[in-house]
Structure 1
């Protein structure tokens, strides 16, 4: 049987939040890893995750199919992690998450490689959100080119470098009021980035069903309000929570879409919050979940305090009840 050392895995978007966890998981399993990113000179932080020469960064941009084909040369498996939360310039949802995903799948097909594609639970061709529609278009393009591809749809991911828990914690340090869009009633199933990376590595190992779509959610289903209350308790800050109807939130987002950092909010993100982001009953019944892969999900409560302490007034030296 061939060793994983003989298997070259090309990870598109491997330098980002999910990417570094995926590269770490693959390196531990002895795969050779080619990280295809727009700026390979900014991917140096991945090198310590593997042995000398195990991880190699190359340039590729999903909007340029020739660069994608070059990155796939001699590769056995393609993993597509490329995604954007907001649009900017040529980086549109359709270009990156729709036709971009199709470009990776076409290159994988031409190379005779297997394909693992990371989408999102919000993927739906009828979604009111451009993000959700482009994710659905990407899935369709991938399965059209590589019918045996494994598609993984995580719920919202959390972890040390996330743009989710860190964002609300950062917002709480600069604002006395936090908005609850739609009353904070949207249900989410936050999933630890390390668990999603394990599922991706399992797919590379061949443990997933060909052509199947998996939905990956964490231990608990929580409302947006419950998540924000948990973050505030963790960073030991009291803030006023104010309900903001969707219509008003969308108007506010028209102004905040150009704001920096944690303040940024786009109308498309408001649309996404109109729908719950949880694992479907159909996926559970079919065993197309983390549990179905034999992965026990880590909880938000177990992981988030390990990195959110930096948002406390006195950081790691804070005392409970002080």
Structure 2
């Protein structure tokens, strides 16, 4: 139905019929492209405009004209690579709540992104299989998008994916194809606090090289460097708590003196949303380091965790030569045997190397403050999931506080 036809119908209709027609028009998202001229002139009785603007290829910064909400049409079409992880589900949830359409490329079984489908309105969460090593698959994934977010990352190497490919090659490939697209007005790349080309950790070195590769391909990219994240599905506090529950002692290195700055995953996701929604482009081409409000040593963090678990601290320091010997044995057989090897955490070579340097936000870095976000401290609702590691159940423990 053309916009002229709509206006003609409204002129010849009664007030009740015109109201019904307005409801019909707003209830057909697929018709918006045809009905935009009519919708641009229409305001509801509450004074809220129901128009929206999509960014065109090579277009200007996003302009959003909507009241927002799950069923809104904000004009954001966001492709999120690596969205099935802990940070990904928080980012998708935030974007879906403002009405953005989320394109979810994934690998593996179709159940992998199933938990994301319920976060958005019908048709707003679009999962599809994507081979990240195939340029054409990436082009198809971002074909209709105006925002691209890369959350892909690994904390350890596997037989199929090494740090160089994940942190450098794939990051560069996505950035290059996004630049070629011509209509990507926001590109956000995920790195980590401690990324440095001179770091003793291979993971942090490749993260820094990946940042440089992304900037070369897409100079306007916004780079986010989150610190160690905690949340319901984290591999940080959950890992320590699992060892506390099933091992006699929780292992540490360097007497637990390495400093960390834990940040809630919900705050990191809020930072991504702020970078996407911002209209003036002030976050474009900048690097943000996202850390929590407090700095802990690993030893202090474990003492706090045992207090939450209501247990007496059981911490053991592993001698560095022993840990490195175990890691070297695993590295030697890593790609020489036809079956996957056990993880043997915490005796990863790169994990041990990463603890040789404090993992805290740089003094002169851009932080949550520039994004207008106040990060929440460790504790409270953000760490209630640790209660389930208590002996006897969430409300029990070895002693009551």
Q: If the TM-score is normalised by the length of the shorter chain, which range does it land in? A: over 0.9
Partner of 1:7: 76
- 1:272 corresponds to 2:350: no
- Offset at residue 304 of structure 1 (A): 4.5
- Offset at residue 231 of structure 1 (A): 1.2
2:379 match: secondary structure = helix
Q: Could you tell me how far apart the structure 1 residues matched to 2:388 and 2:377 are?
A: 19
Unaligned runs of 5+ in 1: none
Instruction: Identify which of structures 1 and 2 has the higher relative contact order when contacts are C-alpha pairs closer than 8 Å and 6+ apart.
Output: 1
- 1:227 corresponds to 2:301: yes
- 1:243 corresponds to 2:317: yes
Q: Could you tell me how far apart the structure 2 residues matched to 1:148 and 1:40 are?
A: 34
Aligned residue pair count: 317
- Offset at residue 243 of structure 1 (A): 2.3
- Offset at residue 238 of structure 1 (A): 2.3
1:90-111 deviations in Å (ceiling 9; x for gaps)? 2111111111101110121111
Contact 1:77–1:108 (8 Å) recurs in 2: no
Contact 1:128–1:271 (8 Å) recurs in 2: yes
Larger helix proportion of the pair = 1
1:316 match: secondary structure = coil
Q: Could you tell me how far apart the structure 2 residues matched to 1:317 and 1:209 are?
A: 44
1:50-96 deviations in Å (ceiling 9; x for gaps)? 11111111222333322212211121010000000111112111111
Partner of 2:98: 29
Q: Could you tell me how far apart the structure 1 residues matched to 2:314 and 2:77 are?
A: 51
- 1:259 corresponds to 2:342: yes
1:259-306 deviations in Å (ceiling 9; x for gaps)? 358x453111100111111111111xxxx1012211111111224541
Contact 1:172–1:237 (8 Å) recurs in 2: no
1:281 match: secondary structure = coil
Q: Could you tell me how far apart the structure 2 residues matched to 1:305 and 1:73 are?
A: 39
- 1:134 corresponds to 2:217: no
Partner of 1:39: 108
- Offset at residue 185 of structure 1 (A): 0.6
Please say which structure displays the higher CA radius of gyration. Answer: 2
Task: Point out the more displaced range, 247-256 or 200-209.
Answer: 247-256
Q: Could you tell me how far apart the structure 2 residues matched to 1:320 and 1:245 are?
A: 29
Partner of 2:231: 159
Unaligned runs of 5+ in 2: 1-51, 54-63, 65-72, 332-340
Q: Could you tell me how far apart the structure 1 residues matched to 2:254 and 2:295 are?
A: 17
Task: Point out the more displaced range, 65-74 or 269-278.
Answer: 65-74
Alignment of 1:1-322 (within 5 A): 2=53, 3=64, 5-39=74-108, 41=110, 42-112=112-182, 113=184, 114-206=186-278, 208-254=282-328, 258-260=341-343, 263=345, 265-283=347-365, 288-318=366-396, 321-322=399-400
Contact 1:148–1:211 (8 Å) recurs in 2: yes
Q: Could you tell me how far apart the structure 1 residues matched to 2:137 and 2:330 are?
A: 34
- Offset at residue 245 of structure 1 (A): 4.0
- Offset at residue 315 of structure 1 (A): 1.8
Larger strand proportion of the pair = 1
- Offset at residue 46 of structure 1 (A): 0.3
Q: Deviating runs (4+, > 6 A) in structure 1?
A: none
Give the direction of change, closer, same or farther, for the CA distance of 1:49–1:40 in structure 2 (3 Å limit).
Answer: farther
Q: Could you tell me how far apart the structure 2 residues matched to 1:138 and 1:321 are?
A: 47
2:170 match: secondary structure = helix
- C-alpha root-mean-square deviation of aligned residues, in Å? 1.9
